[in-house]
Amino acid sequence: MWNTSNSTFSCHHESVLSYRYVAVGWGVVVAVTGTVGNVLTLLALAIQPRLRTRFNLLIANLTLADLLYCTFLQPFSVDTYLHLHWRTGATFCRVFGLLLFTFNSVSILTLCLIALGRYLLIAHPKLFPQIFSAKGIVLALVGTWVVGVASFAPLWPVYVLVPVVCTCSFDRLKGRPYSTILMGIYFVLGLSSVGVFYCLIHRQVKRAAKALDQYKLQQASIRSNHVAGTDEAMPGHFKELDSRPASRGPSDGISSEPVSAATTQTLEEDSSEMREQGNTKVPKHTAEKSPPEGPAKSQPTKGARRAQDSPSEFGKHP
């Protein structure tokens, strides 16, 4: 039979008196902000269809555990600090202690699963759907609550009000060594595994970023070599020649090979033929409008013709 006297559930302790109102204020802040924030998170996960993924069920599970703590447990802690006395009896003190550590254990286990899932998504994407399948995710979610309750249920007889912290928890002396082992598993191994997974994620991301940088450098090198090869090939096909007489034609200025005498003669002949063809293909209307090449010969008049036919006076003999 548990002693339910006022002295058993009183936390009027010197250490508690020093931070009593600070604990009350902080408890109110945690209860209000935690409740509002976690409710909004659950609403976002429920309303947004694109957030309804199997992986986000782990986020919802973590949010639910935190919401239950902030909404149902934190107000009792605030009341105890405010009155320096547990006012709800011994049975609920045990329930409070069991739920407190159950919610904490569920949060830690869910954090481990989230870290594991993110690592698998980055390092082993083909393995993630096999482990976090529809059936696997349900087992993981149910397992966190079953393991949490099963872990701290054996401490049911030793949940009491601890005056130093003004909270119902298990008795440190009566709960040993089981309580020590549980604390080591959850708070040492559990949280350490979360850190290990995120370190592995960081290393994998750095490795992928390094490989991406090397690939970009390789592609840039290939692209620059291709452009350089094109620039080197172009001058070899077109060489500017020395000035030549204008009669050689318009194609004398550029050549793909050193120009020989035969090539020059051929180019001159082709140019002459092109000019001749251009002259023969003058449009008809242009030929009609163009002036005659030489001055037109004027026809002699009748008077002039007689003068030419008649003998000149200077030609008469006296």
Domain of 168, in residue numbers? 14-218
For the cut 90, the answer to whether the pLDDT of residue 301 exceeds it is: no
Longest dimension (CA), the chain: 188
Task: Give me the helix-helix angle, 20-47 and 74-83, nearest 10°.
Answer: 170
| 128, part of any domain | yes
In a domain, 306, yes or no: no
Please report, as a single letter, which amino acid is at residue 265.
Answer: Q
Q: Which of the four pLDDT bands, split at 50, 70 and 90, describes residue 307?
A: very low
**Domain total for the chain?**
1
Indicate whether 30 belongs to any domain: yes
Cα separations (Å) of 266 from 249, 254, 270, 289? 11, 15, 6, 35
Helix axes 89-123, 191-237, angle to 10 degrees: 20
pLDDT in the model for residue 279: 53
Above 80 in pLDDT, residue 130? yes
Residue 161: Cβ within 10 Å count: 21
Torsion of CA 4, 69, 145, 179, to 10 degrees: -50
Q: What's the whole-number mean pLDDT along residues 72-83?
A: 93
Q: How far apart are CA 176 and CA 183, in angstroms?
A: 11
| DSSP state letters, 165-202 | TTEEEE-TTTTTTHHHHHHIIIIIIIHHHHHHHHHHHH
Average pLDDT, the chain: 78
pLDDT on residue 185? 92
User: How far is 201 from 121, CA to CA, in rounded Å?
Assistant: 10
Structural domain includes residue 209 = yes
In a domain, 273, yes or no: no
Q: Is there a contact between 147 and 109 (Cβ–Cβ < 8 Å)? A: yes
Question: Structure tokens of 241?
Answer: 């020649």
The verdict on residue 239 lying in a domain is: no
More confident residue, 16 or 98: 98
Rounded mean pLDDT, 277-305: 47
What local confidence, expressed as pLDDT, does residue 308 receive? 47
Q: What phi, psi does 305 have (nearest 5°)? A: -65, -40
- Work out the average pLDDT over 4-33: 83
Q: What would the 3-class secondary structure string for 136-147 be?
A: HHHHHHHHHHHH
Alpha carbons 126 and 112: distance in angstroms, whole number: 20
CA distance 243 to 245: 7
Is residue 314 situated within a structural domain? no
Beta strands 167-170 and 159-162 are antiparallel
Residues 8-18 have a mean pLDDT of 81
Q: 20: left (phi > 0), else alpha (psi -120 to 50), else beta?
A: alpha
Closest-CA residue to 78 (of 152, 21, 155): 21
Tell me the whole-structure pTM to 2 decimals.
0.66
Q: Give the CATH number, domain containing residue 30.
A: 1.20.1070.10
CA distance 29 to 168: 20
Q: Using alpha carbons only, what angle is made at residue 154 by residues 157 and 159, rounded to the nearest 5 degrees?
A: 35
Half-sphere exposure of 190 (CA within 13 A, CB side): 20
Q: Is 145 domain-assigned?
A: yes
